[in-house]
A = this chain, B = another copy of it.
Amino acid sequence: MITPYTLPGFMELMPVDQVKFDYLKNTIEKTYLKYGFLPLDTPVIEGADILLAKAGGETEKQIYRFNKGDSDLCLRFDLTVPLAKFIAMNQGQLSFPFRRYQIGKVYRGERAQKGRYREFYQCDIDVIGDEDLPIIYDVEMPCIIKDIFDTLGLDFEIRINNRKVLNGLFTSLGVKNTQDVMRIIDKYDKIGKDAVADELVKLGLQGSDVVKLMEFVAIEGSSQDKIDKARAFDIQNEEYLKGLDELEQVIQHVKTLGAEDTIVIDFKIARGLDYYTGTVYETFIKGHENVGSVCSGGRYDNLASHYTNKKFPGVGISIGLTRLYYVLNELDLMKQVPNPIKVLVLPMDNAQIGYALKVAKAVRDLGVNCDTYFADKKFKNKLNYANKQGVPFVAIVGENEEKDNAVTIKNMFEHTQGTVKLDSLKNILG
Protein backbone atom coordinates (compact mmCIF):
# COMPACT_ATOMS: atom_id res chain seq x y z
CA MET A 1 0.00 0.00 0.00
CA ILE A 2 1.30 3.45 -0.96
CA THR A 3 0.25 6.64 0.79
CA PRO A 4 -1.34 8.71 -1.96
CA TYR A 5 0.06 12.20 -2.60
CA THR A 6 0.13 14.88 -5.27
CA LEU A 7 3.49 16.44 -6.15
CA PRO A 8 4.22 19.84 -4.58
CA GLY A 9 3.72 22.73 -7.01
CA PHE A 10 0.90 20.93 -8.84
CA MET A 11 -2.62 22.32 -8.48
CA GLU A 12 -5.31 19.70 -7.95
CA LEU A 13 -8.72 21.09 -7.08
CA MET A 14 -11.88 19.61 -5.62
CA PRO A 15 -14.60 19.45 -8.31
CA VAL A 16 -16.51 22.31 -6.66
CA ASP A 17 -13.41 24.51 -7.10
CA GLN A 18 -12.58 23.07 -10.51
CA VAL A 19 -15.97 24.41 -11.62
CA LYS A 20 -14.77 27.93 -10.73
CA PHE A 21 -11.44 27.34 -12.46
CA ASP A 22 -13.26 26.15 -15.57
CA TYR A 23 -15.47 29.22 -15.46
CA LEU A 24 -12.33 31.37 -15.75
CA LYS A 25 -10.98 29.17 -18.52
CA ASN A 26 -14.25 29.17 -20.45
CA THR A 27 -14.61 32.95 -20.12
CA ILE A 28 -11.13 33.42 -21.57
CA GLU A 29 -11.72 30.89 -24.37
CA LYS A 30 -15.10 32.37 -25.34
CA THR A 31 -13.61 35.85 -25.49
CA TYR A 32 -10.69 34.69 -27.63
CA LEU A 33 -13.18 33.13 -30.04
CA LYS A 34 -15.25 36.32 -30.01
CA TYR A 35 -12.23 38.20 -31.35
CA GLY A 36 -11.75 35.78 -34.22
CA PHE A 37 -9.01 33.54 -32.84
CA LEU A 38 -9.09 29.85 -33.73
CA PRO A 39 -7.76 27.06 -31.49
CA LEU A 40 -4.35 25.43 -31.69
CA ASP A 41 -3.25 22.50 -29.54
CA THR A 42 0.43 21.61 -29.79
CA PRO A 43 2.04 18.66 -27.97
CA VAL A 44 3.18 19.02 -24.37
CA ILE A 45 6.35 17.13 -25.34
CA GLU A 46 8.75 18.46 -28.01
CA GLY A 47 12.24 17.58 -29.09
CA ALA A 48 14.82 19.23 -26.81
CA ASP A 49 16.50 20.86 -29.81
CA ILE A 50 13.22 22.55 -30.71
CA LEU A 51 12.43 23.92 -27.26
CA LEU A 52 15.99 24.86 -26.38
CA ALA A 53 16.75 26.60 -29.70
CA LYS A 54 16.26 29.90 -27.94
CA ALA A 55 16.00 29.21 -24.23
CA GLY A 56 18.82 29.89 -21.86
CA GLY A 57 19.65 30.91 -18.31
CA GLU A 58 16.91 30.56 -15.72
CA THR A 59 14.36 29.02 -18.10
CA GLU A 60 16.68 26.24 -19.26
CA LYS A 61 17.42 25.19 -15.67
CA GLN A 62 13.70 24.86 -14.96
CA ILE A 63 12.89 22.71 -17.96
CA TYR A 64 11.70 19.12 -17.56
CA ARG A 65 14.04 17.26 -19.89
CA PHE A 66 14.42 13.50 -20.30
CA ASN A 67 15.20 10.69 -22.69
CA LYS A 68 12.77 8.16 -24.10
CA GLY A 69 14.54 5.60 -26.26
CA ASP A 70 17.03 7.63 -28.30
CA SER A 71 15.03 10.86 -28.12
CA ASP A 72 16.06 13.89 -26.10
CA LEU A 73 12.73 15.37 -25.04
CA CYS A 74 11.37 18.34 -23.07
CA LEU A 75 8.03 19.43 -21.67
CA ARG A 76 7.05 22.82 -23.10
CA PHE A 77 7.67 25.75 -20.73
CA ASP A 78 5.49 28.20 -22.64
CA LEU A 79 3.15 28.29 -25.65
CA THR A 80 5.20 30.77 -27.70
CA VAL A 81 8.06 28.51 -28.72
CA PRO A 82 5.64 25.79 -29.93
CA LEU A 83 3.77 28.50 -31.89
CA ALA A 84 7.01 29.64 -33.53
CA LYS A 85 7.75 26.02 -34.48
CA PHE A 86 4.21 25.51 -35.79
CA ILE A 87 4.29 28.62 -37.96
CA ALA A 88 7.76 27.95 -39.35
CA MET A 89 6.68 24.37 -40.19
CA ASN A 90 3.32 25.22 -41.74
CA GLN A 91 3.87 28.70 -43.16
CA GLY A 92 2.84 27.63 -46.67
CA GLN A 93 -0.57 26.40 -45.53
CA LEU A 94 -1.55 29.25 -43.23
CA SER A 95 -3.43 32.47 -44.02
CA PHE A 96 -1.75 35.58 -42.69
CA PRO A 97 -2.26 37.55 -40.54
CA PHE A 98 -2.63 34.29 -38.63
CA ARG A 99 -4.63 34.33 -35.40
CA ARG A 100 -4.63 31.52 -32.95
CA TYR A 101 -5.43 30.98 -29.31
CA GLN A 102 -3.97 28.19 -27.26
CA ILE A 103 -4.94 27.21 -23.73
CA GLY A 104 -2.80 24.50 -22.22
CA LYS A 105 -0.52 23.35 -19.48
CA VAL A 106 3.15 24.30 -19.42
CA TYR A 107 5.91 23.11 -17.08
CA ARG A 108 8.63 24.84 -15.13
CA GLY A 109 10.50 23.12 -12.32
CA GLU A 110 10.61 26.24 -10.15
CA ARG A 111 11.46 26.11 -6.48
CA ALA A 112 8.18 25.21 -4.75
CA GLN A 113 6.58 28.12 -2.90
CA LYS A 114 3.10 29.33 -2.09
CA GLY A 115 1.26 30.50 -5.19
CA ARG A 116 3.96 29.30 -7.63
CA TYR A 117 3.17 26.27 -9.74
CA ARG A 118 5.34 23.85 -11.67
CA GLU A 119 2.43 22.89 -13.89
CA PHE A 120 0.22 25.77 -14.93
CA TYR A 121 -2.17 26.82 -17.65
CA GLN A 122 -1.27 29.56 -20.06
CA CYS A 123 -3.98 31.14 -22.20
CA ASP A 124 -2.34 32.81 -25.17
CA ILE A 125 -3.42 34.68 -28.25
CA ASP A 126 -1.17 35.95 -31.00
CA VAL A 127 -1.67 37.57 -34.39
CA ILE A 128 1.24 36.83 -36.67
CA GLY A 129 1.99 38.74 -39.84
CA ASP A 130 3.83 37.57 -42.91
CA GLU A 131 6.82 39.96 -43.06
CA ASP A 132 4.79 42.82 -41.54
CA LEU A 133 1.82 43.47 -39.33
CA PRO A 134 0.10 46.89 -39.02
CA ILE A 135 0.15 48.66 -35.66
CA ILE A 136 -3.67 48.54 -35.59
CA TYR A 137 -3.48 44.94 -34.38
CA ASP A 138 -1.92 46.30 -31.20
CA VAL A 139 -5.24 48.01 -30.44
CA GLU A 140 -7.31 44.84 -30.24
CA MET A 141 -5.13 43.18 -27.56
CA PRO A 142 -5.99 45.53 -24.67
CA CYS A 143 -9.65 45.48 -25.81
CA ILE A 144 -9.63 41.71 -25.43
CA ILE A 145 -8.04 41.93 -22.00
CA LYS A 146 -10.68 44.49 -21.02
CA ASP A 147 -13.48 42.27 -22.27
CA ILE A 148 -12.24 39.27 -20.24
CA PHE A 149 -11.64 41.12 -16.99
CA ASP A 150 -14.94 43.01 -17.32
CA THR A 151 -16.72 39.67 -17.65
CA LEU A 152 -14.91 38.41 -14.55
CA GLY A 153 -16.28 41.43 -12.70
CA LEU A 154 -12.87 42.76 -11.68
CA ASP A 155 -11.69 46.33 -11.15
CA PHE A 156 -8.50 46.52 -13.18
CA GLU A 157 -6.21 48.72 -15.21
CA ILE A 158 -4.34 47.84 -18.39
CA ARG A 159 -1.08 49.71 -18.68
CA ILE A 160 0.64 50.06 -21.99
CA ASN A 161 3.98 51.33 -23.11
CA ASN A 162 6.19 50.98 -26.15
CA ARG A 163 9.65 49.46 -25.97
CA LYS A 164 10.88 51.80 -28.69
CA VAL A 165 10.27 54.72 -26.36
CA LEU A 166 12.47 53.26 -23.62
CA ASN A 167 15.08 51.96 -26.05
CA GLY A 168 15.27 55.31 -27.81
CA LEU A 169 15.54 57.17 -24.54
CA PHE A 170 18.38 54.92 -23.36
CA THR A 171 20.22 55.27 -26.65
CA SER A 172 19.82 59.01 -26.50
CA LEU A 173 21.20 59.09 -22.94
CA GLY A 174 24.03 56.77 -23.87
CA VAL A 175 22.85 54.07 -21.44
CA LYS A 176 24.50 50.76 -22.36
CA ASN A 177 23.09 48.01 -20.10
CA THR A 178 19.50 48.60 -21.14
CA GLN A 179 18.27 45.20 -19.91
CA ASP A 180 19.46 45.94 -16.38
CA VAL A 181 18.04 49.45 -16.46
CA MET A 182 14.63 48.12 -17.59
CA ARG A 183 14.69 45.49 -14.87
CA ILE A 184 15.27 48.19 -12.26
CA ILE A 185 12.63 50.56 -13.65
CA ASP A 186 10.18 47.66 -13.66
CA LYS A 187 10.44 47.63 -9.85
CA TYR A 188 9.43 51.30 -9.54
CA ASP A 189 5.95 50.61 -8.15
CA LYS A 190 7.29 48.00 -5.75
CA ILE A 191 10.37 49.67 -4.29
CA GLY A 192 9.67 53.37 -4.99
CA LYS A 193 11.38 56.20 -6.81
CA ASP A 194 14.32 56.68 -4.44
CA ALA A 195 15.32 53.03 -4.35
CA VAL A 196 15.17 52.89 -8.14
CA ALA A 197 17.37 55.97 -8.41
CA ASP A 198 19.87 54.42 -5.97
CA GLU A 199 20.01 51.19 -7.94
CA LEU A 200 20.51 53.05 -11.22
CA VAL A 201 23.42 54.98 -9.74
CA LYS A 202 24.89 51.72 -8.39
CA LEU A 203 24.59 50.29 -11.90
CA GLY A 204 26.94 53.06 -13.03
CA LEU A 205 24.53 55.55 -14.59
CA GLN A 206 25.46 59.21 -14.42
CA GLY A 207 23.51 61.31 -11.95
CA SER A 208 22.12 63.56 -14.66
CA ASP A 209 20.85 60.56 -16.63
CA VAL A 210 19.22 59.13 -13.55
CA VAL A 211 17.44 62.43 -12.92
CA LYS A 212 16.27 62.53 -16.55
CA LEU A 213 15.03 58.94 -16.37
CA MET A 214 13.21 59.61 -13.11
CA GLU A 215 11.59 62.71 -14.59
CA PHE A 216 10.53 60.68 -17.61
CA VAL A 217 8.91 57.79 -15.77
CA ALA A 218 7.16 60.24 -13.45
CA ILE A 219 5.32 62.00 -16.29
CA GLU A 220 1.70 62.48 -15.20
CA GLY A 221 -1.63 63.19 -16.84
CA SER A 222 -4.02 61.52 -19.27
CA SER A 223 -2.52 59.18 -21.83
CA GLN A 224 -2.55 61.92 -24.45
CA ASP A 225 -0.97 64.36 -21.97
CA LYS A 226 1.78 61.84 -21.32
CA ILE A 227 2.54 61.50 -25.00
CA ASP A 228 2.56 65.28 -25.46
CA LYS A 229 4.86 65.75 -22.46
CA ALA A 230 7.16 62.97 -23.64
CA ARG A 231 7.37 64.62 -27.08
CA ALA A 232 8.32 67.89 -25.38
CA PHE A 233 11.02 66.04 -23.44
CA ASP A 234 13.68 67.06 -25.91
CA ILE A 235 14.90 63.61 -26.90
CA GLN A 236 16.00 63.75 -30.52
CA ASN A 237 16.00 60.04 -31.21
CA GLU A 238 14.14 58.47 -34.10
CA GLU A 239 13.20 55.27 -32.26
CA TYR A 240 11.93 57.25 -29.28
CA LEU A 241 9.70 59.36 -31.50
CA LYS A 242 8.49 56.38 -33.49
CA GLY A 243 7.53 54.64 -30.23
CA LEU A 244 5.54 57.71 -29.19
CA ASP A 245 3.78 57.78 -32.57
CA GLU A 246 2.81 54.12 -32.20
CA LEU A 247 1.60 54.67 -28.66
CA GLU A 248 -0.46 57.62 -29.82
CA GLN A 249 -2.13 55.58 -32.54
CA VAL A 250 -3.03 52.84 -30.09
CA ILE A 251 -4.35 55.32 -27.55
CA GLN A 252 -6.43 57.19 -30.13
CA HIS A 253 -8.19 54.02 -31.24
CA VAL A 254 -8.66 52.95 -27.64
CA LYS A 255 -10.46 56.26 -27.14
CA THR A 256 -12.70 55.71 -30.17
CA LEU A 257 -13.70 52.39 -28.64
CA GLY A 258 -14.47 54.10 -25.33
CA ALA A 259 -11.89 52.14 -23.39
CA GLU A 260 -9.56 54.93 -22.30
CA ASP A 261 -10.53 54.64 -18.63
CA THR A 262 -9.12 51.13 -18.28
CA ILE A 263 -6.29 51.34 -20.83
CA VAL A 264 -3.63 53.88 -19.88
CA ILE A 265 -0.04 54.67 -20.74
CA ASP A 266 2.58 53.86 -18.14
CA PHE A 267 6.14 54.68 -19.23
CA LYS A 268 7.54 52.40 -16.52
CA ILE A 269 6.25 49.19 -18.10
CA ALA A 270 9.30 47.47 -19.56
CA ARG A 271 8.56 43.71 -19.52
CA GLY A 272 11.71 41.77 -18.82
CA LEU A 273 11.86 39.80 -22.05
CA ASP A 274 14.21 41.15 -24.71
CA TYR A 275 11.76 39.58 -27.11
CA TYR A 276 9.41 42.60 -27.24
CA THR A 277 10.09 45.43 -29.65
CA GLY A 278 7.01 47.68 -29.62
CA THR A 279 3.79 47.96 -27.63
CA VAL A 280 3.83 46.15 -24.29
CA TYR A 281 0.90 45.43 -21.97
CA GLU A 282 0.46 44.66 -18.30
CA THR A 283 -2.77 44.28 -16.35
CA PHE A 284 -3.20 45.04 -12.68
CA ILE A 285 -6.07 44.41 -10.32
CA LYS A 286 -6.76 47.75 -8.66
CA GLY A 287 -5.81 47.80 -5.02
CA HIS A 288 -3.79 44.63 -5.54
CA GLU A 289 -1.00 45.86 -7.79
CA ASN A 290 1.49 44.04 -5.56
CA VAL A 291 0.46 40.62 -6.91
CA GLY A 292 1.92 41.70 -10.25
CA SER A 293 0.49 41.70 -13.74
CA VAL A 294 -2.25 39.13 -14.35
CA CYS A 295 -2.17 39.46 -18.13
CA SER A 296 0.82 40.63 -20.13
CA GLY A 297 2.10 40.68 -23.63
CA GLY A 298 3.37 42.79 -26.44
CA ARG A 299 4.62 43.27 -29.94
CA TYR A 300 7.63 41.44 -31.33
CA ASP A 301 9.49 41.77 -34.62
CA ASN A 302 10.37 38.21 -35.35
CA LEU A 303 8.71 35.16 -33.86
CA ALA A 304 10.41 32.21 -35.48
CA SER A 305 13.96 33.29 -36.27
CA HIS A 306 15.35 30.04 -34.83
CA TYR A 307 13.42 27.92 -37.33
CA THR A 308 13.12 29.99 -40.50
CA ASN A 309 14.68 32.90 -42.39
CA LYS A 310 11.28 34.36 -43.03
CA LYS A 311 10.23 37.20 -40.79
CA PHE A 312 7.06 36.75 -38.74
CA PRO A 313 6.26 39.80 -36.62
CA GLY A 314 3.39 39.53 -34.19
CA VAL A 315 1.56 40.78 -31.17
CA GLY A 316 0.10 38.70 -28.37
CA ILE A 317 -0.97 38.39 -24.78
CA SER A 318 -0.86 35.63 -22.22
CA ILE A 319 -2.87 34.93 -19.09
CA GLY A 320 -1.31 32.70 -16.46
CA LEU A 321 -4.59 31.03 -15.59
CA THR A 322 -3.41 28.86 -12.70
CA ARG A 323 -1.85 31.85 -10.96
CA LEU A 324 -4.88 34.05 -11.77
CA TYR A 325 -7.17 31.47 -10.14
CA TYR A 326 -4.89 31.32 -7.11
CA VAL A 327 -4.75 35.11 -6.81
CA LEU A 328 -8.51 35.66 -7.22
CA ASN A 329 -9.18 33.07 -4.54
CA GLU A 330 -6.61 34.52 -2.16
CA LEU A 331 -8.05 38.01 -2.65
CA ASP A 332 -11.61 36.70 -2.45
CA LEU A 333 -12.37 38.30 -5.82
CA MET A 334 -13.72 35.17 -7.51
CA LYS A 335 -17.15 35.81 -8.94
CA GLN A 336 -19.96 33.60 -7.69
CA VAL A 337 -20.09 30.80 -10.27
CA PRO A 338 -23.45 29.04 -10.61
CA ASN A 339 -23.53 25.26 -10.13
CA PRO A 340 -23.48 23.70 -13.61
CA ILE A 341 -25.70 20.91 -12.23
CA LYS A 342 -29.19 22.32 -11.83
CA VAL A 343 -31.25 19.33 -10.71
CA LEU A 344 -30.77 16.26 -8.55
CA VAL A 345 -33.31 13.42 -8.90
CA LEU A 346 -33.98 11.57 -5.64
CA PRO A 347 -36.15 8.45 -5.50
CA MET A 348 -37.90 8.18 -2.10
CA ASP A 349 -37.42 4.46 -2.20
CA ASN A 350 -35.74 1.77 -4.30
CA ALA A 351 -39.13 0.92 -5.79
CA GLN A 352 -39.07 4.25 -7.67
CA ILE A 353 -35.62 3.85 -9.18
CA GLY A 354 -36.94 2.96 -12.62
CA TYR A 355 -39.27 5.95 -12.62
CA ALA A 356 -36.44 8.16 -11.30
CA LEU A 357 -34.38 7.22 -14.35
CA LYS A 358 -37.28 8.34 -16.54
CA VAL A 359 -37.56 11.63 -14.68
CA ALA A 360 -33.83 12.24 -15.06
CA LYS A 361 -34.15 11.55 -18.78
CA ALA A 362 -37.01 14.05 -19.03
CA VAL A 363 -34.91 16.71 -17.27
CA ARG A 364 -31.86 16.02 -19.44
CA ASP A 365 -33.99 16.04 -22.60
CA LEU A 366 -34.74 19.67 -21.73
CA GLY A 367 -30.99 20.28 -21.94
CA VAL A 368 -30.78 20.73 -18.17
CA ASN A 369 -27.79 19.22 -16.35
CA CYS A 370 -29.08 16.64 -13.90
CA ASP A 371 -27.55 14.40 -11.24
CA THR A 372 -29.22 11.28 -9.82
CA TYR A 373 -28.81 9.64 -6.43
CA PHE A 374 -29.49 5.90 -6.27
CA ALA A 375 -27.59 4.81 -3.17
CA ASP A 376 -29.74 2.79 -0.79
CA LYS A 377 -29.73 5.30 2.08
CA LYS A 378 -32.27 6.97 4.32
CA PHE A 379 -34.04 9.94 2.78
CA LYS A 380 -32.23 12.22 5.23
CA ASN A 381 -28.88 11.10 3.79
CA LYS A 382 -30.18 11.73 0.30
CA LEU A 383 -31.15 15.30 1.16
CA ASN A 384 -27.80 15.72 2.85
CA TYR A 385 -26.09 14.82 -0.43
CA ALA A 386 -28.31 17.36 -2.20
CA ASN A 387 -27.29 20.08 0.23
CA LYS A 388 -23.61 19.28 -0.08
CA GLN A 389 -23.77 19.34 -3.88
CA GLY A 390 -25.50 22.72 -3.76
CA VAL A 391 -27.96 21.99 -6.56
CA PRO A 392 -30.74 24.57 -6.92
CA PHE A 393 -33.52 22.01 -7.53
CA VAL A 394 -34.19 18.55 -6.10
CA ALA A 395 -36.70 16.41 -8.00
CA ILE A 396 -38.29 14.06 -5.51
CA VAL A 397 -39.87 10.91 -6.85
CA GLY A 398 -42.13 8.82 -4.61
CA GLU A 399 -44.97 6.37 -5.04
CA ASN A 400 -47.55 9.10 -5.63
CA GLU A 401 -45.40 10.94 -8.12
CA GLU A 402 -44.89 7.76 -10.10
CA LYS A 403 -48.61 6.99 -10.09
CA ASP A 404 -49.40 10.50 -11.34
CA ASN A 405 -46.54 10.67 -13.83
CA ALA A 406 -45.38 13.68 -11.85
CA VAL A 407 -42.45 14.94 -9.83
CA THR A 408 -42.10 17.09 -6.71
CA ILE A 409 -39.63 19.90 -7.27
CA LYS A 410 -37.98 21.35 -4.21
CA ASN A 411 -36.34 24.74 -4.70
CA MET A 412 -33.33 24.43 -2.38
CA PHE A 413 -32.55 28.15 -2.30
CA GLU A 414 -36.07 29.52 -1.87
CA HIS A 415 -37.22 26.59 0.32
CA THR A 416 -40.41 26.12 -1.66
CA GLN A 417 -41.77 23.04 -3.34
CA GLY A 418 -44.51 21.95 -5.69
CA THR A 419 -45.60 18.93 -7.71
CA VAL A 420 -45.79 19.06 -11.49
CA LYS A 421 -46.57 16.60 -14.26
CA LEU A 422 -43.52 15.37 -16.13
CA ASP A 423 -44.67 17.03 -19.33
CA SER A 424 -44.84 20.43 -17.61
CA LEU A 425 -41.29 20.19 -16.24
CA LYS A 426 -40.03 22.74 -18.72
CA ASN A 427 -42.22 25.44 -17.19
CA ILE A 428 -40.13 25.18 -14.03
CA LEU A 429 -36.71 24.25 -15.37
CA GLY A 430 -36.75 25.42 -18.98
Contacts and interface: CB of A to CB of B under 8 A. Distances in A.
Nearest to A15: B38
Contact of A375 (B39, B53, B97, B375): B97
A22 interface: yes
A21 to B, nearest CB: 7
B43 A373 contact: no
B13 A50 contact: no
A129 interface: yes
B14 A90 contact: yes
B1 A361 contact: no
A112 to B, nearest CB: 10
A73 B64 CA distance: 10
A2 B308 CA distance: 8
A164 interface: no
Task: Tell me the number of copies of this protein.
Answer: 2
Interface stretch (A191-199, A219-227, A351-359, A421-429): A351-359
A10 B42 CA distance: 8
Interface stretch (A135-143, A203-211, A285-293): A135-143
Nearest to A385: B95
B375 A96 contact: yes
A285 to B, nearest CB: 24
Given A73-B7, A139-B357, A370 B35 contact: yes
A306 B1 contact: yes
Contact of A68 (B64, B86, B132): B64
A55 to B, nearest CB: 12
A140 B371 CA distance: 11
A284 interface: no
| Residue among A13, A39, A85 having the largest count of chain B Cβ atoms under 10 Å | A39
A20 to B, nearest CB: 10
A341 B36 contact: yes
B41 A13 contact: yes
Interface in A63-120: 64-69, 71, 73, 84-86, 88-90, 93-97, 99-100, 105, 107, 109, 118-119
B309 A1 contact: yes
A65 B304 CA distance: 31
A253 B354 CA distance: 7
A4 interface: yes
A129 B373 CA distance: 11
| Residue among A64, A304, A369 having the largest count of chain B Cβ atoms under 10 Å | A369
Given A2-B50, A2-B307, A64-B66, 14 more contacts: A1-B309, A2-B53, A4-B86, A6-B86, A10-B43, A12-B41, A15-B39, A35-B370, A36-B341, A65-B66, A68-B109, A95-B385, A97-B373, A99-B371
Interface of A: 1-7, 10-16, 18-19, 21-22, 33-36, 38-47, 49-50, 53, 64-69, 71, 73, 84-86, 88-90, 93-97, 99-100, 105, 107, 109, 118-119, 129, 132-134, 136-137, 139-140, 143, 147, 252-253, 256-257, 304, 306-309, 340-341, 344, 353-354, 357-358, 361, 364, 367-376, 385, 388-389
